[in-house]
C-alpha cells in the first residue's frame, strides 16, 4: 500500500512552518555570525594602524581602544546565535556525552527555557537601554565621547537573534526527542 506509506511519512514530518522558521533563523544567524567574524580582522588592522602612527609620528589615537571594545562587543553579540547553532558554546559535561541523542534532546528541551527566559529579560533591558541612548543622545564618558546608540542597537539585535536561535534550538530538540529530524 504505497499510498498509506506516503501518508505515514507525512505524519512523521515536522510541520512546514516550524521547518521554515528553523531554516530561516539558522540561515540568518550563519550569515550574521560569519559576517561578524571579520570584526576581529578590522580590530587587528586598527591596532596595527594605531601602533604604527604612535611609533612613526608620536601621535596617540584616543579612539582606537574604544572602537576595538565596540567591535569586540559586536563580534560576540552578533556571533552568539551562530555559536549556539554550531554547538560551540560552553557546556558542563558530566553525563551529557554518555546520553543518547534523544535523551540529550529531552534534557536540552528543559534547559533551553532557562536560556530563553534569560534572553527575554536581557532583550527587555537592551530595548530600554537603547531607547534611553537614542532619546537622550547618550555618549560614552571618555575623551572621544562616541554616541552609544549604535552599539546598543547592535547589542539588542544580537540578543534578539540569539533568542530566535534558542527557540529554533528548542524546535530542533523537540523534533529529535520525537524521533524526527528538521532537515
Residue 177: pLDDT band (50, 70, 90) is: very high
Residue 181: pLDDT band (50, 70, 90) is: confident
Extract the C-alpha cell encoding 41: 580582522
Does 1 have pLDDT greater than 50? no
Mean pLDDT of 127-151: 96
Residue-averaged pLDDT of the chain: 92
- CA dihedral angle for residue 144, residue 149, residue 150, residue 154, rounded to 10 degrees: 130
Cα first-last separation, the chain: 26
Q: Identify the bridge partners of residue 139 per DSSP, sorted by sequence position.
A: 147
The contacts of residue 171 (CB under 8 Å, 6+ apart) are 14, 18, 21, 22, 182
- 42-46, 95-99, 154-158: range with lowest mean pLDDT: 95-99
Q: What is the pTM of this model?
A: 0.88
102-135 per-residue burial string, b: 16 or more CB within 10 A, e: under 16? eebbbebbeebeebbeebeebbeebeebbeebee
Amino acid at each position: 500500500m504505497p499510498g498509506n506509506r506516503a501518508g505515514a511519512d507525512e505524519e512523521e514530518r515536522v510541520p512546514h512552518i516550524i521547518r521554515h522558521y528553523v531554516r530561516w533563523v539558522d540561515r540568518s544567524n550563519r550569515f550574521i555570525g560569519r559576517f561578524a567574524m571579520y570584526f576581529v580582522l578590522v580590530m587587528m588592522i586598527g591596532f596595527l594602524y594605531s601602533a604604527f602612527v604612535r611609533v612613526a609620528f608620536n601621535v596617540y589615537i584616543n579612539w582606537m581602544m574604544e572602537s576595538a571594545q565596540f567591535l569586540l562587543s559586536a563580534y560576540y553579540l552578533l556571533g552568539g546565535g551562530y555559536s549556539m547553532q554550531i554547538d560551540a558554546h560552553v557546556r558542563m559535561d558530566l553525563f551529557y556525552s554518555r546520553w543518547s541523542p534523544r535523551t540529550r534532546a529531552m534534557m536540552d528541551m528543559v534547559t533551553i527555557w532557562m536560556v530563553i527566559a534569560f534572553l527575554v529579560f536581557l532583550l527587555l533591558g537592551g530595548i530600554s537601554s537603547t531607547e534611553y541612548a537614542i532619546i537622550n543622545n547618550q555618549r560614552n564618558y571618555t575623551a572621544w565621547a562616541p554616541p552609544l546608540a549604535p552599539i546598543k542597537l547592535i547589542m539588542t539585535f544580537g540578543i534578539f537573534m540569539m533568542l530566535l536561535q534558542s527557540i529554533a534550538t528548542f524546535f530542533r530538540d523537540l523534533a529529535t526527542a520525537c524521533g524526527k529530524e528538521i532537515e
